[in-house]
Amino acid sequence: QQQVKQSPQSLIVQKGGISIINCAYENTAFDYFPWYQQFPGKGPALLIAIRPDVSEKKEGRFTISFNKSAKQFSLHIMDSQPGDSATYFCAASRRAGNNRKLIWGLGTSLAVNP
Amino acid sequence: DVKVTQSSRYLVKRTGEKVFLECVQDMDHENMFWYRQDPGLGLRLIYFSYDVKMKEKGDIPEGYSVSREKKERFSLILESASTNQTSMYLCASNTGGSSYEQYFGPGTRLTVT
């Protein structure tokens, strides 16, 4: 059972276009929603994250939109560049005892054509 | 900068061999994690450790064990490697408690033949 559903599995965008990756969750106990970026040959790295008390967070060309009532959140990459080509993972975090549990989406492979 | 290092980038082992994957972090982090990454399956948690000598099973612990004798080092052990354990293995760490961010190593690509 996939607790965090991510789509699409792969995405091809032209340089300068907007890349949009969507995620949905069920468990309302999640209270932190990060996006990780992974380049080939590297481990994932935190890109941007949002709490459910805000509807949008922007960092440079990257924006998270969050819809609490729909239990959905999405990553928008504006003015997509070839250097953005990577795998993107959404995730959702909740408390688990004294620590936090991170539930991952399955990932989206983004290719930005020059 | 947080640094998580993994002992090997690529490893080729034979079926039935005992395999050790080592991970070291230099930020005095409490928590350490082992994931495997397979195409279309995302990141799946194998084990994590929240303190020295403490461990908890993740989502797919079967066929694996772990060891954490020192705070900075977390080892993943495949007691008897099988071909279905061919995968990318990622180690991560964080400060624990309410910490959200996980810091990843570069991964070890393990091939079992």
Give chain B's mean pLDDT: 94
> Does B1 have pLDDT greater than 80?
no
Read off the pLDDT band of A12 (50, 70, 90). very high
What is the pLDDT, as a whole number, of residue B2? 67
Residue B33 has what pLDDT?
96
d(CA A36, CA A107): 9
Q: Which of B98, B99, B106 lies at the smallest CB-CB distance from A41?
A: B106
Which chain B residue shows the shortest CA-CA distance from A99? B97
Contact list, B50 vs chain A (CB under 8 Å): 98-99
pLDDT in tens, A47-93: 999 999 999 999 999 999 999 999 999 999 999 999 999 999 999 99
Environment class of B10 (CB within 10 Å of its CB; exposed 0-12, middle 13-18, buried 19+): exposed
* Distance, C-alpha B42 to centroid of its chain: 15
Confidence at residue A100, expressed as pLDDT on a 0 to 100 scale = 82
Q: Give the side-chain half-sphere CA count within 13 A for B22.
A: 8
Per-residue model confidence (pLDDT) at position A101: 85
Give me the pLDDT at residue A107, please.
96
Confidence of residue A1 (pLDDT cuts 50, 70, 90): low
Closest Cα in chain A, distance from residue B15 (Å): 25
